[in-house]
Amino acid sequence: MSVNRGGDVAFRIPSEPALEPECTSLSCELSAAATEPGVVMAVALAGLLALLTFAYVRDAETVCRRERRRVMDEHDAFEEFADRVAALDPCPAEATEPSASAATQTVGTRRGAGQRAVGDIRLRRVLDTYRDTVMSLPHYTEEYDESVAESLAAELGPDTTVSLASNGTLSPGLQSALVDRSRRAAAARRSLGDAIGVELDALDDADATLSGIDRRRRRLDQHLEGIPQGRRADASIDVWERLGDLETECDDLADDRQSTLRNPPMSPERVAGGVEAGFYEYLYEPMDGPDHPVLASVATLVDRIREDRDRVARRIADGV
């Protein structure tokens, strides 16, 4: 990702998506395993389904951790770029003076040529420094496949590349602008990294809540199975009601998550192909699986709870 112009946050996506993405996520691998008869026969199906229920959330945690690491790597790279550009000696602004003679004009021309040569060297150092910092990040090149000029324009503003191309020198003003915008780009990434951290905490809380509800669901099933058939009537009613309570907890979790989705920890927009998207789309669009992993996991668990309730209700009706 990147933060455009060092201040106006705009999420960027890779230049080209993979044509045939590999099955690398936990949910993808578990889904494949669940369709293999040999695997289903070899493991406890309930355990596999429980893992699959929360695989979406755990995949999301993996995606967020990876993205936060990349964002913070970019933060460090822009800070280093700013430090190294600030350490360069800028070319002094040339004073335009009237020429007293042809000789003076000749000297002035030579001096101007020398200053331009020095300026060219300094500009090359700026570009080389950008290559060695921001563009040296492995994920940066892989995702965006941009030239130095394209990357500078996207990250620090198109007027930056225009100034670099037209001035021919690293003037104090241009140097100051490069340093200032780079530091703002780094600061924006710090804010984004913090926002992703908030989402990671939310995912961790959701995972713990869902896992706790599912453990209680399975314990209720096991409890009911352990009661002799002739004595299951009251126990079945109690289990049916407790399962209803678990479904209510899932509904509460879904409501809380919906509220979080309406109020993300950061509210920038990403522009890709003219389409604007927000914080959660930026995080989860590249992920295998649903766009809303927590809600998908809640829905899966609710379906399982309702199946259990229906099965218990049939037993109550049959007097089993």
CA–CA dist 90, 265 (Å, integer)? 40
Three-state SS for 15-68 is: CCCCCCCCCCCHHHHHHHHHCCHHHHHHCCHHHHHHHHHHHHHHHHHHHHHHHH
Separation between Cα atoms, residue 103 and residue 108, nearest integer Å: 8
pTM for the full model?
0.76
Q: What are phi and psi of 277, to 5 degrees?
A: -140, 160
Count of Cβ atoms closer than 10 Å to residue 189 Cβ: 26
The residue among 83, 86, 74, 77 whose CA lies nearest residue 9 is 74
pLDDT of residue 217: 95
The size of the chain, in residues, is 320
pLDDT of residue 67: 94
Distance CA 196, CA 177 (A): 28
Contact between 304 and 215 (Cβ < 8 Å): no
Residue 318: the pLDDT is 79
Q: Is 271 helix (H, G, I), strand (E, B) or coil?
A: strand
Give the model's pLDDT for residue 45.
47
- DSSP H helical segments within the chain, as ranges? 26-34, 37-42, 45-86, 102-132, 138-144, 148-156, 158-167, 172-225, 233-262, 279-284, 293-318
Answer yes or no: are the C-beta atoms of 130 and 152 closer than 8 Å. Answer: yes
pLDDT, mean of each 10-residue run, the chain (320 residues): 47 46 45 42 47 81 95 96 92 44 35 48 87 92 84 89 78 91 95 95 96 95 83 87 97 96 80 62 85 94 95 84
| The predicted structure's pLDDT at residue 285 | 84
**Rounded to an integer, what distance in angstroms lies between the CA atom of residue 156 and that of residue 5?**
4
From residue 42, give the alpha-carbon distance in Å to each of 33, 38, 50, 96: 11, 6, 16, 85
Quote the Cα angle for 197-199-22, to 5°.
100
